[in-house]
């Protein structure tokens, strides 16, 4: 090419570019004003409605030439098929509809692309299993078939445009009910590449409308699907690739279950489907890393990578050729079988075989701790599990173990579950176990059931555990899909039983830490689900329904102790227990009877511990029964020997902590045949007591006293440290006291019908002298138709109609103050003091002595 030709070609190129730019500019300036947009509004509405197979409404239409010719639609609403509900299937504030340019040369308008942003799309599934998008696919397929079968038509069928949505929300409905599940920040596209061939893509983040979730932890869902034309929808070939990545287990359980199951780890799921609704080949892969509970991290995280393949028959609701394989630790687990749905004419059940090859027991332990919160986080397990189990319902047949007839053993059914799993080298250590628990060989085999039992298929095993008794502890274990059942029979040392109770996570196991003695006789049953209920539901949005809690573990049975002792930190001495039986039920834990001795005090007791939630205040109840009690002996037993200057009291003061341990809160009743307080005896006393942190409140005290009755209330406060003394406060009434008994008690001769009174007193100290010296209070009494002689009693008391008096208790004595002795119309006063000694000795003061004293 010559040097002159090159400049000419560049000049021609620039000329054509300029002419094209002028043409485009003229089109932009001239064409839009000539287009009547309102003229095409009805046509565009008709096009979209016919393309989607739904009624369409929109507010306004604007023409647009750049970047490509089309229309901007405002407030687009696509109505729902009445068969799926009344709420619109799609709503978008702004929609862009692009035009196919070639259709303009043919004198018609065809939509090429419909783009929506920030739209709301409802996916509806009917109870029969149909989706609201079915009619959309059927409409486009029918149009494609019409185009193929009638090529000579003048008017071509309307072709479905390319649909795309960005930054949108996809809601899921079941009939008229909108489910809380949705996809947010969704990007969706639906394309008909050729008549009858579809391509669908979807990307979004799962969310719930009734919970606040960390959206970054719910993962991302991606879907790519291809559908091809077929005479019937169930024969339409489909290819689907579904992936759910980067899902955190805690947020995933909140998304699916509505509450955090406190599982942690990352989960990724993949699914590939290819085929038709009648027969689809499916491959799945589920990968998990770092699986554990939130409250503990195992030494080796429980990771797995499970791959499954199967053929799904959606029309028949059946699965064939199921094969799943996953490595687990140093072993492998494999599952194969088939699932066939039952029909109206034939009952059908799934059949499968599961094989374990050297699966570590530690992995099973981690799995249990993952689904069961707070269960033995420090426990370690060694050993492996191998074997296989086959579930084949059609092969089950009854096997007779004895002749049928009256009084004979019923038929035993050989269940559909066969095979067995062997645990070799099982050893548990750590946690509360002082020594490892070793069981060399355990066989889990299908449990044999009685005919008509109706229980689910289960695995059973019987094993013997050395527990420090005369014979090993017999353990019968049953495992089924719903949960576990456990039976313990035999003897166990208190120490080993305490370790096993802590290992099982029993809430009251800490009480066993203070027990010692001979081996206990155990007869316990336990059962429970694999998944425990959550302690409390998470806060939900107003109007959200609560999820009912599943039943928790249930323990029942009894434990009998003999020749044991119990030393609580709030008691001075140990309680010696000759016999005690612990009854356990779903509602309460009850010790009854308990035959004990506490120092010189002997009696029987019944203690009830109600079972309730941690949020509730459940107060234990106790009932104590004694024979004859001496108050001084009782005080010494519970509060210790505090005679000052003795070697024992000095040792107690040195060993006793600065702050005494708090007493547990207990409500109870204390009964005795008699309570001896010095020279005073209370008949059949009954006291209702509530213990507090450092004492007790006596809500009622009733007893027989001096031929009458006493009713009182009071409080007791124990010494907080070695420098303090216990204190008492009492207030009560005396009812129908016999004067003859009062006179005999005071060394006087007394007569009369009855004596009533009331008073209150406060005392502090350990010994009788300390209590008498610290006593402060008041006493009021009324004595009718009586008399008092001897002992220097004044003449006014020899015979009276009524004697009322108020007395002051102080300085180790009771002193009469305001009083009136009435006989007929005469009224006199007397003076007297009663020292608080044992026995008391009343001293009367004559008027002359009283005047000299003043």
pLDDT in tens, 809-849: 998 898 988 899 999 888 998 888 888 887 778 888 765 44
Q: Which of 692, 690, 644 is nearest to 670 (CA)?
A: 690
**How many Å apart are CA 252 and CA 246, to the nearest integer?**
10
C-beta separation of 351 from 394 below 8 A? yes
C-beta separation of 273 from 240 below 8 A? yes
C-beta separation of 242 from 223 below 8 A? yes
The pLDDT of residue 773:
87
- Enumerate residues 6+ apart whose C-beta is below 8 A from 635: 726, 766
C-beta separation of 463 from 475 below 8 A? yes
**How many Å apart are CA 42 and CA 606, to the nearest integer?**
88
Q: How many CB atoms lie within 10 A of CB 322?
A: 20
Answer yes or no: is pLDDT of 767 > 50: yes
What are 273-282's pLDDT values in tens digits?
Answer: 999 888 899 9
The pLDDT of residue 109:
61
Answer yes or no: is pLDDT of 536 > 60: no
The pLDDT of residue 538:
43
**How many Å apart are CA 574 and CA 521, to the nearest integer?**
22
- Enumerate residues 6+ apart whose C-beta is below 8 A from 247: 217, 218, 219, 266, 267, 268, 269
**How many Å apart are CA 292 and CA 289, to the nearest integer?**
9
Q: DSSP readout, 203-243?
A: EEEEEESSS---GGGS-EEEEEEEEE--SSGGG--EEEEEE
Return the half-sphere exposure (C-beta side, CA atoms, 13 A cut-off) of residue 743: 19
Which of 232-241, 456-465, 799-808 is predicted least confidently? 232-241
The pLDDT of residue 147:
47
Question: What does the pLDDT average to over 128-145?
Answer: 64
The pLDDT of residue 853:
46
**How many Å apart are CA 836 and CA 774, to the nearest integer?**
10
Percent pLDDT > 70 in the chain is 74
The pLDDT of residue 747:
76
**How many Å apart are CA 236 and CA 196, to the nearest integer?**
10
Question: What does the pLDDT average to over 19-47?
Answer: 60
Question: What does the pLDDT average to over 725-754?
Answer: 87
Which of 412-416, 533-537, 555-559, 739-743 is predicted least confidently? 533-537
Answer yes or no: is pLDDT of 479 > 60: yes
CA 824 from centroid of its chain's CA atoms? 76
CB-count exposure of residue 657 (10 Å: 0-12, 13-18, 19+) = exposed
Residue 808 tokens, joined? 């002051």
Which of 273-282, 698-707, 742-751 is predicted least confidently? 742-751
Which of 137-151, 437-451, 675-689 is predicted least confidently? 137-151
Of the two residues 402 and 526, the one the predictor is more confident about is: 526
- Enumerate residues 6+ apart whose C-beta is below 8 A from 256: none
Q: Which of 120, 64, 75 is nearest to 97 (CA)?
A: 64
Residue 206 tokens, joined? 């799962």
SS3 (DSSP) at 849: helix
**How many Å apart are CA 803 and CA 754, to the nearest integer?**
11
**How many Å apart are CA 518 and CA 560, to the nearest integer?**
10
What are 57-78's pLDDT values in tens digits?
Answer: 888 777 776 666 777 888 888 8
SS3 (DSSP) at 635: helix
The pLDDT of residue 769:
78
Ramachandran sector of residue 253 (left: φ over 0; alpha: ψ -120 to 50; beta: rest):
alpha
The pLDDT of residue 67:
66
H helices within 319-395, ranges in order? 361-371
Answer yes or no: is pLDDT of 662 > 70: no
Place of tokens 């409390």: 536
Q: Which of 721, 704, 723 is nearest to 712 (CA)?
A: 704
Q: Which phi and psi angles does 362 have, rounded to 5°?
A: -60, -35
Q: Which of 761, 759, 779, 757 is nearest to 771 (CA)?
A: 761
Residue 508 tokens, joined? 């009251």
Place of tokens 């059946």: 318
Q: How many CB atoms lie within 10 A of CB 15?
A: 10
Parallel, antiparallel or unpaired: strands 162-174 and 111-117: parallel
Percent pLDDT > 90 in the chain is 19
Answer yes or no: is pLDDT of 347 > 90: no
Which of 7-16, 388-397, 714-723, 751-760 is predicted least confidently? 7-16
Q: Which phi and psi angles does 377 have, rounded to 5°?
A: -65, -25
Handedness of CA 342, 348, 349, 350 (dihedral sign): negative
The pLDDT of residue 530:
78
Residue 390 tokens, joined? 């086959």
What are 308-345's pLDDT values in tens digits?
Answer: 999 998 877 888 899 999 888 788 999 998 877 655 45
- Please give the helix or strand (H or E) that residue 20 lies within, else none: helix 5-34
Q: Which of 634, 572, 566, 561 is nearest to 602 (CA)?
A: 634
Q: Which of 203, 127, 136 is nearest to 170 (CA)?
A: 203
Residue 800 tokens, joined? 């009276």
The pLDDT of residue 400:
45
Of the two residues 174 and 422, the one the predictor is more confident about is: 422
Q: Which of 655, 656, 646, 643 is nearest to 721 (CA)?
A: 656
Answer yes or no: is pLDDT of 194 > 90: no
Answer yes or no: is pLDDT of 393 > 80: no
Which of 413-417, 705-709, 760-764, 833-837 is predicted least confidently? 413-417
Answer yes or no: is pLDDT of 188 > 60: yes
The pLDDT-based confidence of 550 (bands split at 50, 70, 90) is very low
What are 338's strand-pairing partners? 351
Answer yes or no: is pLDDT of 775 > 80: yes
CA 244 from centroid of its chain's CA atoms? 29
The pLDDT-based confidence of 350 (bands split at 50, 70, 90) is confident
Question: What does the pLDDT average to over 556-584?
Answer: 84
- Please give the helix or strand (H or E) that residue 246 lies within, else none: strand 238-248
Q: DSSP readout, 433-502?
A: -SS-EEEEEEEEEEPPEETT--PPP-EEEEEEE--BSSSPEEEEEEE-SSEEEEEEEEEE-HHHHHHHHH
The pLDDT of residue 852:
45
CA 565 from centroid of its chain's CA atoms? 35
Q: Which of 526, 592, 530 is nearest to 556 (CA)?
A: 526
Answer yes or no: is pLDDT of 206 > 60: yes
CA angle at residue 830 from 829 to 831, to 5 degrees? 135
The pLDDT of residue 401:
45
Which of 214-218, 380-384, 504-508, 797-801 is predicted least confidently? 504-508
The pLDDT of residue 408:
47
The pLDDT of residue 544:
40
Average pLDDT, the chain: 78
What are 494-510's pLDDT values in tens digits?
Answer: 888 888 777 766 656 66
Q: Which of 478, 521, 517 is nearest to 495 (CA)?
A: 517
Place of tokens 């209330």: 713
Answer yes or no: is pLDDT of 656 > 50: no
How many angstroms separate the first and last alpha carbons of the chain?
152
Residue 780 tokens, joined? 């009021």
Of the two residues 641 and 767, the one the predictor is more confident about is: 767
Answer yes or no: is pLDDT of 21 > 50: yes
The pLDDT of residue 241:
95
What are 210-258's pLDDT values in tens digits?
Answer: 777 776 788 899 999 988 877 776 778 899 999 998 888 888 888 887 7
The pLDDT of residue 516:
85
- Residue 111 vs residues 188, 633, 673: alpha-carbon distances, Å: 18, 103, 102
**Most distant CA pair in the chain, distance:** 163
What are 549's strand-pairing partners? none
Of the two residues 136 and 328, the one the predictor is more confident about is: 328
**How many Å apart are CA 691 and CA 685, to the nearest integer?**
18
What are 355's strand-pairing partners? 334, 388
Angle between helices 37-52 and 134-149 (to 10 degrees): 100
Residue 36 tokens, joined? 């009547």
The pLDDT of residue 587:
80
Which of 149-163, 221-235, 385-399 is predicted least confidently? 149-163
Residue 204 tokens, joined? 């979004």
Answer yes or no: is pLDDT of 302 > 50: yes
**How many Å apart are CA 503 and CA 70, to the nearest integer?**
72
**How many Å apart are CA 598 and CA 576, to the nearest integer?**
6
Q: DSSP readout, 96-145?
A: EEEEPHHHHHTT---EEEEEEES-EEEEEE-TTS-BTTHHHHHHHHHHHH
The pLDDT of residue 253:
80
C-beta separation of 200 from 189 below 8 A? yes
What are 362-379's pLDDT values in tens digits?
Answer: 888 877 777 776 666 778
Q: Which of 387, 368, 369 is nearest to 377 (CA)?
A: 369
The pLDDT of residue 410:
46
């Amino acid at each position: 090419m010559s040097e002159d030709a090159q400049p000419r070609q560049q000049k021609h190129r620039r000329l054509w570019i300029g002419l094209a730019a002028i043409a485009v500019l003229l089109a932009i300036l001239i064409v839009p004003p000539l287009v009547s947009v309102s003229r095409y509004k009805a046509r565009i509405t008709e096009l979209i409605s016919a393309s989607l197979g739904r009624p369409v409404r929109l507010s306004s239409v604007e023409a647009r030439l750049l970047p490509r010719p089309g229309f901007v639609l405002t407030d687009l609403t696509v109505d729902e098929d009445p068969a799926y509900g009344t709420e619109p299937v799609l709503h978008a504030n702004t929609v862009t509809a692009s035009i196919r340019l070639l259709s303009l040369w043919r004198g018609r308008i065809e939509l090429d692309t419909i783009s929506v942003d920030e739209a709301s799309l409802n996916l509806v599934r009917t109870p029969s299993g149909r989706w609201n998008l079915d009619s959309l696919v059927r409409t486009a397929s029918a149009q494609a078939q019409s185009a193929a079968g009638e090529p000579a038509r003048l008017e071509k069928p309307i072709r479905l445009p390319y649909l795309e949505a960005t930054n949108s929300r996809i809601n899921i409905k079941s009939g008229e009910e909108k489910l809380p599940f949705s996809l947010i920040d969704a990007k969706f596209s639906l394309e008909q590449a050729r008549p009858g061939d579809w391509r669908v893509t979807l990307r979004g983040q799962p969310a719930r409308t009734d919970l606040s979730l960390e959206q970054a932890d719910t993962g991302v869902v991606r879907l790519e699907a291809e559908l091809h034309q077929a005479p019937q929808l169930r024969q339409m070939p489909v290819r689907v690739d579904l992936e759910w990545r980067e899902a955190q287990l805690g947020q995933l359980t909140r998304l699916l279950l509505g509450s955090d199951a406190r599982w942690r780890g990352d989960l990724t799921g993949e699914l590939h489907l290819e085929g038709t609704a009648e027969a689809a080949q499916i491959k799945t892969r589920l990968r998990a890393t770092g699986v554990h509970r939130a409250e503990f991290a195992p030494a080796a995280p429980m990771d797995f990578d499970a791959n499954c393949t199967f053929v799904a028959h959606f029309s028949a609701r059946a699965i064939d050729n199921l094969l799943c394989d996953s490595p687990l630790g140093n072993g492998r687990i494999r599952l194969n079988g088939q699932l066939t749905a039952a029909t109206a004419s034939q009952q059908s059940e799934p059949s499968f075989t599961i094989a374990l090859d050297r699966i570590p027991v530690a992995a099973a332990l981690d799995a249990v701790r993952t689904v069961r919160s707070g269960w033995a986080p420090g426990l370690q397990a060694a050993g492996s599990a191998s074997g296989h189990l086959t579930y084949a319902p059609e092969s089950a047949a009854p096997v007779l173990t004895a002749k049928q007839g009256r009084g004979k053993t019923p038929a035993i059914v050989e269940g559909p579950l066969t095979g067995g799993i062997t645990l070799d080298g099982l050893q548990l250590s750590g946690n509360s176990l002082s020594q490892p628990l070793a069981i060399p060989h355990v066989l889990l085999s299908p449990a044999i059931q009685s005919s008509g039992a109706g229980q689910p298929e289960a695995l059973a095993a019987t094993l013997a555990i050395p527990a420090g008794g005369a014979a090993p502890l017999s353990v019968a274990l049953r495992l089924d899909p719903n949960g576990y059942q456990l039976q313990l029979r035999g003897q166990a040392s208190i120490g080993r039983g305490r370790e096993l109770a802590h290992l099982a996570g029993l809430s009251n196991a800490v009480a066993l830490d203070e027990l010692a003695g001979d081996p206990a006789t155990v007869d316990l049953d336990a059962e429970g689900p694999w998944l425990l209920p959550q302690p409390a539901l998470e806060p939900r949005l107003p109007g959200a329904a609560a999820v009912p809690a599943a039943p928790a573990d249930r323990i029942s049975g009894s434990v009998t102790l003999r020749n044991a002792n119990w030393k609580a930190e709030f008691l001075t001495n140990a309680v010696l227990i000759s016999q005690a039986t612990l009854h356990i039920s779903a509602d309460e834990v009850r010790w009854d009877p308990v035959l004990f001795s506490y120092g010189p005090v002997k009696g029987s007791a019944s203690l009830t511990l109600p079972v309730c939630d941690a949020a509730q205040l459940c107060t234990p109840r106790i009932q104590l029964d004694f024979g004859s009690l001496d108050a001084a002996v009782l005080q010494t037993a519970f509060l210790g020997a505090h005679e000052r200057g003795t070697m024992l009291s000095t040792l107690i003061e040195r060993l006793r902590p600065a702050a005494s341990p708090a007493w547990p809160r207990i409500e109870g009743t204390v009964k005795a045949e008699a309570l001896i307080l010095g020279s005073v005896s209370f008949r059949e006393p009954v006291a209702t007591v509530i213990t507090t942190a450092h004492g007790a409140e006596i809500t009622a005290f009733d007893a027989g006293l001096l031929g009458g009755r006493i009713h009182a209330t009071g409080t007791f406060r124990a010494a907080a440290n070695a420098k303090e003394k216990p204190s008492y406060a009492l207030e009560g009434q005396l009812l129908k006291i016999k004067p003859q008994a009062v006179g005999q008690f005071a060394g006087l001769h007394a007569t009369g019908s009855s004596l009533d009174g009331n008073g209150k007193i406060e005392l502090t100290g350990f010994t009788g002298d300390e209590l008498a010296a610290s006593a402060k209070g008041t006493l009021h009494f009324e004595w009718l138709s009586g008399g008092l002689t001897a002992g220097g009693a004044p003449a006014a008391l020899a015979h009276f109609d009524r004697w009322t008096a108020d007395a002051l208790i102080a300085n180790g004595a009771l002193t009469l103050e305001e009083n009136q002795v009435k006989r007929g119309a005469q009224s006199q006063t007397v003076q007297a003091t009663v020292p608080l000694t044992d026995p008391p000795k009343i001293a009367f003061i004559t008027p002359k002595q009283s005047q000299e004293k003043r």
